[in-house]
Amino acid sequence: MAKHTVTLIPGDGIGPELTTAMTRVVEATGVDIEWETVEAGADVMDKYGTPLPEHVPESIRKNKVAIKGPITTPIGTGFRSVNVALRKELDLYACLRPAFSIPGSGARYDDIDLVIVRENTEDLYAGIEFSEGSEGARKLIEFAAAEGAGTIRPDSGISLKPISITGTRRIVKYAFDYAIANGRTKVTAVHKANILKHSDGLFLKVAREVAGEYADSGIEFEDYIVDATCMQLVLHPEWWDVLVLPNLYGDIVSDLAAGLIGGLGVAPGANVGAECAVFEPVHGSAPKYAGKDVANPTAEILSAVLMLKHLDEPDAADRVLRAVRTVIGKGEKVTYDIKRSNTGSTEGSVGTQAYADALIAEL
């Protein structure tokens, strides 16, 4: 029996070619993994009547660890994002997005090493919305007026922003535990508490309480307003260490951080809960590149590096990371996006699998 069994969701768009490159590189380290491949997304709708058949979360619950390629969310078809549904169903409350510089990736900076910890279950992404003109919107508008909370224009659509003590406690605790386990020195809570007193204000209050409980950990704590965070991330990206944010700010700031380190092609991620962890790149399915063997698999492969660490395979993780640094550092056998960032042209770039071959040769 293999030492590890991991659920593999190839996804769609560029997903299958990226996960193929990723499994080839991981297997070349010699680590003993058996992949349990399950399909999700629009392509399985006809067969199962749902983009997320029950055997997908069942497989992840059983194996506790999964890695996936991106999955397209078709606009206007009425089906919810499989990615969001999976995070909800498995209560993957922490979204971890490390952003570290890889010299040669064409990034603006080469001294970034920060980690975004995004709350994954509540805030404006809770999905509690009332469309313009609906009965629900009308009642809410009346309720707000009756409570003296404020006037909402009658032709408004409304999205709720719930932030709880429970959700905040566990994400801030996760950020501190992550900082301790990974030799980090500072946690910064990011918010807009000066304006959103009852949602972000609560987030900040609870974050300060949790920080108090970790006072002896040696981890420094500070808080920062989200808009100022964005500016300072661009001006001084080297300042930051672990950032913990409510869902929406976490989503936006992690794309900003991806931009600082060279773009979506190199930004890995993980969604972690108390029971299971699902590793995936930050980027989506980039349909226009699907099947062309051109997309950059680095984000998928760096997601596998996070997974290998999680599986307690630090040597394999280090070898893959070193190979990525070496191949990108040399700048020869790299995909179009990295070539273009470095030279202004895609000429001389290699395809997805040829890049994976170059990594394997460096392991």
**Residue 178 among the catalytic residues:** no
10 Å CB burial of residue 222 (0-12, 13-18, 19+) is exposed
Which CB, 16 or 284, lies closer to ligand NAD?
284
Q: Give, rounded to a whole angstrom, the gap between the first and last alpha carbons of the chain.
A: 25
**One-character DSSP codes across 247-316:** HHHHHHHHHHHHHHTT-GGG---EEE-SS-EEE--SS---GGGTTSS-S--HHHHHHHHHHHHHTT-HHH
Taking CB under 6 A as the rule, does residue 44 contact ligand NAD? no
Using rule CB under 6 A, residue 296 touches ligand NAD: yes
**Candidate segments 124-132, 167-175, 253-261, 284-292, binder of ligand NAD by CB under 6 A:** 284-292
Binding positions for ligand NAD, 251-270, rule CB under 6 A: 264-265
Does the annotation mark 216 as catalytic? no
Considering only residues 4, 283, 333, 339, which one is a binding residue for ligand NAD as defined by CB under 6 A?
283
226 belongs to the binding site for ligand NAD (CB under 6 A): no
Distance, in Å, from the CA atom of 329 to the CA atom of 101, rounded to the nearest integer, reads 11
Q: Is 194 exposed, middle or buried (0-12, 13-18, 19+ CB in 10 A)?
A: exposed
Closer residue to ligand NAD (CB): 67 or 211? 67
Q: Examine residue 20 and tell whether it contacts ligand NAD (CB under 6 A).
A: no
**Closer residue to ligand NAD in complex, CB, 137/358:** 358
Residue of this chain nearest to ligand NAD (CB atom)? 284
Q: Least distance from C-beta 42 to ligand NAD, angstroms? A: 9
Please confirm, yes or no, whether 32 is among the known catalytic residues: no
The reply to whether 339 sits near ligand NAD by the rule CB under 6 A is: no
Stretch that binds ligand NAD, among 130-138, 179-187, 190-198, 283-291 (CB under 6 A): 283-291
Q: What is the C-alpha to C-alpha distance for residues 243 and 249, in angstroms, rounded to an integer?
A: 11
Phi, psi of 118 (to 5 degrees): -105, 130
Catalytic residue among 227, 288, 315, 330, which? 227
Binding flags for ligand NAD, 135-154, as an x/- string (CB under 6 A): --------------------
> CA torsion 71→72→78→79, rounded to 10°?
-10
CA dist., res. 98 & res. 125, Å (int): 21
> Which residues have a catalytic role annotated?
125, 192, 227, 251
Binding site for ligand NAD (CB under 6 A): 14, 70-73, 83, 264-265, 280, 283-286, 288, 295-296, 299, 337
